[in-house]
Chains A and B, each alone.
Chain A
């Protein structure tokens, strides 16, 4: 069990980094509480795997400290940390049986064979591997192999956290769901800290209680799935989470009204005031599901052109054109879609304002 704390972590793969762009990780401060199920979400190349390798000890960060329960482990090597890692594709010892694979980390640590047997059989039971425990690991299906990789972490009774680096990439879609449920089950049973790296928002949001979104070497927001959806701290979170992502419109503020190239959108008073204060490049953001599309003009509605309607079965995505900008709105299936012209309403409650990419609170 451990609480994992990252303090001022920065990492560069260049020997003597100068500019900020040479850093794969810029400045990371984060805490993962003991026993939490956390996800690290971000696009490819944002530094997720680098961060994970720093936590597991495969990489030593250029700057900053890693603390487990307040103990500084930054310089401690991977095998000395009580952490396990599951990789993108199953990593197995091909010549060994499933049993020997599971026993390997224990045998390396000089644990006696009776205890090894006890632990291995116990974990095999949890992971439903008992039926082929004597088989060679190399011949099994991808999901069983990935369970063995996980099992090699779980057998160690001292293990405090398990790190997952996109572990479901090579698994068939139907089995993905099954395996993800299994992971949740194991998490509830064993109360270990799970850190799950993925670029798939669905995976992150369903697996974790707490999701950290990474973008270009920084953690831009940490929060519950709902938080990330409703209150994105950064325009990247708005864009990355949700399908389709948040709509953004560049604007200027005048009193309570945001001007978007001639179209006037009423804002919440407090937000508008803070926007005026903040300055910088201002953008208005709204989730497609909160953007109201009407067939007639009315109060606080702006006119827009209807470009395209995609029917996705249970809902529709409407592509709209407002003052030379493209917007998307998602409408429930029973709601009529106006032809050619539509009048949009931006509910102030759901309309967010961003200054230089960051949300104005």
Chain B
């Protein structure tokens, strides 16, 4: 059958196209525009081609920030995914406890990100913070996130886990609630242990929501900015300078728009690439056929 061309249909797509253009395409084009020029002064710019890309790709500080970022996201996923599932499994299934648990768990998600940085900054301060002072003065363990890189990492990780594990837990809980009772009944009749029930019923049934949780946590943790910026400012030294913190230093503090643009695009491609790989991999989990 021949396709019937109806040009009016394009009009219907137009609003979406305009919105996407303003929200994504135009900003992206601007960044691409910056990334291939050297802007010397307003109105005075030189086309430099791929020079900024080559420079940024060879920048050892970017490499360091990138590995730091991978370590951070890796740890985030390793801790938050199992912990979130564990919390979801431990939550009550009915009664008044459900609402209490849901609200309590969701609280960290409702706090503005800058505030979270501030809360943890004060909480872990060695002189007045409950945790910081408690560690140093009562337990006698030297702990100072402003001076010791390891302490800074521990603090950032604790903050991140506290802030975002609830999201994983809520998604996993929703996935668990959606499993029909008959699956559990069949498992009981088949004599399955609690571990088998988890492995063969709960985990496979949660795959969809866990894929979403995994991708969201990967992307968000890879793009993290506000909380570590407030908490450590990237320090001590460069020990918690993640990609976005380094990017802001180049683009806004040094006002190098060209290298900043190139950096942004490289950053964007990395996130896109890894999200794609993870998505494909997670879609295939458990789909292999055995003979």
* A→B interface (CB under 8 Å): 53, 56, 58, 77-79, 83-85, 87-89, 91, 93-97, 99-100, 104-105, 108-109, 134-136, 149, 152-153
Contacts and interface: CB of A to CB of B under 8 A. Distances in A.
B189 A84 contact: yes
B200 to A, nearest CB: 4
Given A53-B185, A152-B186, 18 more contacts: A58-B188, A78-B185, A78-B189, A79-B189, A79-B191, A83-B189, A87-B182, A91-B183, A93-B200, A93-B201, A94-B205, A95-B200, A97-B291, A108-B191, A108-B193, A134-B291, A135-B289, A136-B290
Contact of A89 (B182, B205, B286, B290): B182
Interface of B: 180, 182-183, 185-186, 188-193, 196, 200-201, 204-205, 286-287, 289-291
Given A93-B201, A94-B204, A134 B289 contact: yes
Most A CB contacts (10 A, CB to CB) among B183, B190, B191 go to B190
Nearest to B188: A78
A95 B286 CA distance: 5
Given A87-B182, A134-B289, A134-B290, A152 B190 contact: yes
Contacts of A89: 180, 182
B189 A149 contact: no
B185 A77 contact: no
27 contacts: A58-B188, A58-B189, A77-B188, A78-B188, A78-B189, A79-B189, A79-B191, A85-B189, A87-B182, A89-B182, A91-B183, A91-B185, A93-B204, A94-B204, A95-B204, A95-B286, A97-B291, A104-B190, A104-B200, A105-B189, A108-B191, A134-B289, A136-B289, A136-B290, A149-B186, A152-B190, A153-B189
Most A CB contacts (10 A, CB to CB) among B186, B193, B204, B286 go to B186
A151 to B, nearest CB: 11
B189 A108 contact: no
A87 B185 contact: yes
Contacts of B193: 108
Contact of B192 (A84, A97, A100, A104): A104
A114 B63 CA distance: 55
Nearest to B192: A108
A72 to B, nearest CB: 20
A interface, over-half SS:
mixed
B289 A91 contact: no
Contacts of B289: 97, 134-136
A68 B135 CA distance: 63
Contact of A100 (B182, B201, B290): B290
Contacts of A83: 189
Contacts of A78: 185, 188-189
B278 to A, nearest CB: 19
4 tightest A-B CB contacts, nearest first? A134-B291, A108-B191, A95-B286, A105-B190
Contacts of B291: 97, 134
A99 B290 CA distance: 9
Nearest to A94: B204
Given A93-B201, A108-B191, A152-B190, A85 B185 contact: yes
Contacts of B180: 89
Nearest to A56: B189
A117 to B, nearest CB: 14
A84 B205 CA distance: 23
Nearest to A135: B289
Nearest to A134: B291
A96 B200 contact: yes
B208 to A, nearest CB: 11
Nearest to B193: A108
Contacts of A85: 185-186, 189
Contacts of A100: 290
A86 B192 CA distance: 16
A93 B199 CA distance: 10
Nearest to B199: A95
Nearest to A110: B191
A96 to B, nearest CB: 7
B191 A58 contact: no
Contacts of B205: 94
Contacts of A136: 287, 289-290
A104 B186 CA distance: 11
Contacts of B183: 91
